[in-house]
Homo-oligomer: A and B are copies of this chain.
Amino acid sequence: MDINGISKFTFGAPFNTNAVQGGISASSGMPPHIRMGADARSFKCSLCKDDKVYGMGEAVRGINKRGWIYETYCSDDPMHTETKRSLYGAHPFVIVDGEEVFGLFVDYPDRVVFDIGYTKVNEMSVTIGAPDFDIYVIEGETPLEVVRRFRSLIGKSYIAPFWAFGFQQSRWSYNTSADVRNVIDGYRKNDLPLDAVYLDIDYMESFKDFTVSEERFPDFPEFVNEAKSRNIHLVPIIDAGVKIEEGYDVYEQGRDNGFFCKDKDGRDFVAAVWPGKVCFPDFLNEKAAEWFGMKYKRLTDAGIDGFWNDMNEPAIFYSEGCLERAIDKVASYKGRNVGIYDFFALKDAVLGLANSSEDYSSMYHNVNGKAVCHNTVHNLYGFNMTKSASDAFAKIAPDKNILMFSRASYIGMHRCSGIWMGDNQSWWSHIKLNLQMLPSLNMCGFLYTGADMVGFGDNCTEELALRWLALGIFNPLMRNHSALGTRDQEFYRFENREAFRSLLKLRYALIPYLYSEYINAAETDDMMFKPLAFEYRGDKFAEAVEDQLLVGGSIMIAPVCEPNAIGRSVYIPEKMLAVFFKSENSFRTKIYDKGHHFVEIPNDEVVVFIRGGKALPLVNSAACTAELDFSTLRFIANGAEGAIFTLCREAGVQNGRSVIEKQTLAVFGDEAETSFEVV
């Protein structure tokens, strides 16, 4: 065991994933706590009846992952039902919390199957794709200690620019600059704060990365500037696939320099995504990554200071070869008497085209001159795409902290960007999934994150939007995003605009708190969002809570995740001061004693529970983060005599990173009757 309570065990010849920073020497012998399988690529570990298992980062189901089977395999799948085994990110890290407390990180860049009490109720069984991997065993007195040690192993978290704590509006797609202008107007004219508008794939010319449609976004730099003059950041999407088109320089450069992934015969691997036929930049090839990263300069030169990387699992709609075979298969039934099993085969031929392992097995990377099959390093693709941009930003624009987040990820990518939780749905159950993923992602270092608020796929309702907003205002990445063909869900489109205005403003009033607690978590390898189980050790009720979170050091939240509710049951783990915000300036308070309580929460209110001896700072809201006036800082405190709060502010940017200014404040008084002084 090394000095930090972490032991590393190497099996076979692992591929270097860059998940771990610095790194430690491998121990000899076998890992503690687990029993390695004879196949040299699996292990088991017994669970006691009441043991909890945390981790898995981006995954479905509860904070306690026990009772299901998960696979770390970056997957483009928008149906996040509770039985899905993989989402977009691959985070093979778990914490067993029982009589023994320990963490396990299986550092392996392809599929790892975690059967956590699924096949056998009291056993965790882990199977790794190949016998080449590292296992890190992380000891700790508590799950939080395990998390902090794991985080110290994998490095400090990316810090997003301050403006990215403002509210951000997206849709697939605002097709023209006029569309974008309308959205900005919609927010500004209705006195609804806003800091960013997103450009989904349709801003591009024929979906070509690093192009902007001249027709739909004429004089783009001027338009970016126009938005900026209104304190709006435009955030364009970048997709992984590069359109094959003669004359398109990004394609031609990649082709001519051998920067694309190859097929087994060394030709460029071709698949289809939004632009039609594309090649995939080989982000595992250092030179190719560097080349692609520098391309973001085209947009930063136009004034862009934020990006989201998408489709980088990589998602594949079909490859030429597989589609050809599928068409042949279907065509072969022409004129024949198609039986039912023929029909299923026909249907499967078409349905099986997307993200097929056949395609992933036909794609090769050039890693230091060696051909490496994609299907052995699948989970590193999105990580390295995003790293390529992040590495470039330091050179392109050292005077800016450029916003970056990605859909696909692997452990370690938290050092260069955030992630969003992928293409969710306008489902009530996805409010809760949003909540449950926050701490799980924090465990893996992903602090700048959030779900597509109000839901990406499917149609929302006003009530869903209000209730989701009540959680969304605590997400560092607070973005409303929706898919093509779904009901419009910009907040100014709803009937009860006053409620949306009040809650959006409340977000802005809370930004000093949220940003400070985010910075604190990033700097100290802490979690900004904690399950109650992590704080109230030994409290069996707290340990079972799956729909409340501690946000930073001062507060607990308990959003309503059900339709037609008048409130919800809340477990209060210590005496707390509930603040029911109707708006930043209008609220009522109530003291709750430790125990279970039914709390009435109208859908135009947000309740925040302030912990004992803690204080919650607020400022006057503003139309955007740039206009927040920190001199309006005030506190609501729960019996705090001299409660300490460390306020963090972004005081500039150096070498592409935010410079953080801190003030330690002591708060005196109680509830809203407080004063504070700098200490």
A interface, CB within 8 angstroms of B: 52, 61-62, 64, 66-68, 79, 81-83, 117-118, 120-121, 272-277, 317-318, 323-324, 326-328, 330-331, 333-334, 337-340, 343, 346-347, 350-351, 353, 425-429, 458-459, 461-464, 495-496, 540-541, 544, 546, 562-567, 569, 571, 596-598
Residues of chain B lying within 8 A (CB to CB) of residue A346: 327, 350
Given contacts A272-B343, A346-B350, A546-B565, 8 further A-B contacts (CB under 8 A): A62-B564, A67-B464, A120-B495, A121-B461, A318-B343, A326-B330, A569-B596, A596-B598
Residue contacts A-B, CB under 8 angstroms, 20 given: A52-B564, A61-B563, A62-B564, A68-B563, A82-B428, A83-B458, A117-B461, A121-B461, A275-B340, A276-B339, A323-B338, A323-B343, A327-B330, A327-B334, A330-B330, A331-B334, A541-B598, A546-B562, A569-B598, A596-B597
> What CA separation (Å) do A340 and B276 show in the bound complex?
5
> What CA separation (Å) do A112 and B541 show in the bound complex?
46
If the complex has contacts A327-B330, A343-B272, are A427 and B81 also in contact, measured as CB distance less than 8 A?
yes
Residues of chain B lying within 8 A (CB to CB) of residue A564: 52, 62, 64, 66-67, 544, 546
8 Å CB contact of A83 from B66, B272, B339, B459: B459
> What CA separation (Å) do A272 and B342 show in the bound complex?
11
State the oligomeric state as a number of copies: 2
**Interface hub of A61, A82, A275, A571 (most chain B Cβ within 10 A):** A82
> What CA separation (Å) do A385 and B634 show in the bound complex?
70
If the complex has contacts A338-B323, A541-B598, are A461 and B118 also in contact, measured as CB distance less than 8 A?
yes
Residues of chain B lying within 8 A (CB to CB) of residue A571: 598
A330 touches B350 (CB 8 A): yes
8 Å CB contact of A429 from B52, B66, B82, B337: B82
Q: Which residue of B has the minimal Cβ distance to A330?
A: B330
Q: Which residue of B has the minimal Cβ distance to A52?
A: B564
Residues of chain B lying within 8 A (CB to CB) of residue A273: 340
> What CA separation (Å) do A233 and B540 show in the bound complex?
45
Residues of chain B lying within 8 A (CB to CB) of residue A326: 330
A378 to chain B, nearest CB (A): 23
A463 touches B67 (CB 8 A): yes
8 Å CB contact of A544 from B340, B426, B566: B566
Counting from the closest, the 7 A-B pairs by CB-CB distance are: A569-B569, A331-B331, A596-B598, A330-B330, A64-B564, A544-B566, A350-B350
> What CA separation (Å) do A495 and B67 show in the bound complex?
14
A567 to chain B, nearest CB (A): 8
> What CA separation (Å) do A120 and B493 show in the bound complex?
12
Q: Which residue of B has the minimal Cβ distance to A565?
A: B544
B330 touches A343 (CB 8 A): no
A601 to chain B, nearest CB (A): 11
> What CA separation (Å) do A2 and B495 show in the bound complex?
39
> What CA separation (Å) do A68 and B487 show in the bound complex?
13
8 Å CB contact of A82 from B61, B62, B427, B544: B427
Residues of chain B lying within 8 A (CB to CB) of residue A347: 350-351, 353
Residues of chain B lying within 8 A (CB to CB) of residue A565: 544, 546
> What CA separation (Å) do A496 and B117 show in the bound complex?
13
Residues of chain B lying within 8 A (CB to CB) of residue A331: 327, 330-331, 334
B426 touches A429 (CB 8 A): no
Residues of chain B lying within 8 A (CB to CB) of residue A544: 564-567
A495 to chain B, nearest CB (A): 6
A275 to chain B, nearest CB (A): 7
Q: Which residue of B has the minimal Cβ distance to A61?
A: B563
> What CA separation (Å) do A60 and B639 show in the bound complex?
46
> What CA separation (Å) do A339 and B273 show in the bound complex?
9
Q: Which residue of B has the minimal Cβ distance to A83?
A: B458
> What CA separation (Å) do A66 and B328 show in the bound complex?
48
B81 touches A81 (CB 8 A): yes
If the complex has contacts A427-B83, A598-B541, are A67 and B563 also in contact, measured as CB distance less than 8 A?
yes
A284 to chain B, nearest CB (A): 26
> What CA separation (Å) do A564 and B272 show in the bound complex?
42
A434 to chain B, nearest CB (A): 15
A619 to chain B, nearest CB (A): 32
